[in-house]
Homo-oligomer: A and B are copies of this chain.
Amino acid sequence: MEKIGTFDFVTESYLLDFRGRVTVPMIGNYLLHCAGEHARQRGFGFNDMTQRSCAWVLSRIAIEMTEYPGMSETISIRTWVEEVGRLFTVRCFALYAGDGRNIGYARSIWAAIDMETRKPSDLTALGNLQEYITDEPCPIGKPGKIVPAESGTDGVPYRVKYSDLDVNGHFNSMKYIEHTLDLFDLAMFEEKEIARIEINYIAEGRYGMPLSLHKKEIAPGRFVTSVCDEEGKAICRSAVSWR
């Protein structure tokens, strides 16, 4: 089995935003699909993990796009494993337009949790995951720690709903991005586009949880956001840079 997997998508009208561009959460869904398929083909997919009573958990992701595909365009995504540590594995992505031109990169950090103990599993004991590591370049910064947005800002209240939940019953990782983008005014999307978005998933969001969504501009066009629980603790933080 090759180390790098390639997956092709064709954009569809009902997945585009009002500008006729693929949305960031949809790109995120494409990336998750590639991650899932690449892992499945190599024996580390959703079902393989369930059999080991484990589940993959996305810890951090950074996505940088130089352009956003429009209607009926082909997106080709290459994905590979960059690192395997005891607690975390790093998976990279490169995105290409139909003509082979690079349009973006992403880097994601994953843990595997034991579904009974909820504790992280040792990834180096997970069989031969390391065999797939390659040194393919992914020329974007790693997803790092994000400045808290919750201090000194008013939060927008939000309660976790049925449609926000993923298959594990937690707040869906791409739904966090959706709610984060909805904190920005439409004029922002009309005038600018997102150059880089980075998300830290800190704790699980559950059904009915009363959350507050915070946003703060830390430099011109650079924002941080936080999703906080009832006690004000961030369960998810993002950094969004506009171009």
A184 pairs with B167, CB closer than 8 A = no
A182 pairs with B162, CB closer than 8 A = yes
A165 pairs with B46, CB closer than 8 A = no
Instruction: Select which of B14, B15, B20, B163 is within 8 A of A178 by beta carbon.
Output: B163
Q: How far is the CA of A134 from the CA of B46 in the complex (A)?
A: 41
The residues of B that contact A6 with a CB separation of less than 8 Å are none
Minimal Cβ-Cβ distance residue in B for A163: B178
A47 pairs with B72, CB closer than 8 A = yes
A102: interface (CB < 8 Å): no
A169: interface (CB < 8 Å): yes
8 Å CB contacts to B: which residues of A170-219? Answer: 172-174, 178-179, 181-182, 184, 186, 189, 207-208
A122: interface (CB < 8 Å): no
Instruction: Select which of B162, B174, B178, B208 is within 8 A of A184 by beta carbon.
Output: B162
Sorted nearest first, the 9 A-B pairs with minimum C-beta distance are A161-B182, A18-B165, A18-B169, A16-B167, A163-B178, A14-B32, A13-B46, A186-B207, A20-B167
With A13-B166, A17-B163, A18-B167 already in contact, 9 other A-B pairs whose C-beta atoms are closer than 8 Å: A12-B33, A13-B46, A14-B33, A18-B168, A18-B169, A46-B72, A47-B72, A162-B184, A162-B186
A–B Cβ pairs within 8 angstroms, 7 of them: A12-B32, A17-B165, A17-B167, A20-B167, A23-B163, A162-B182, A163-B181
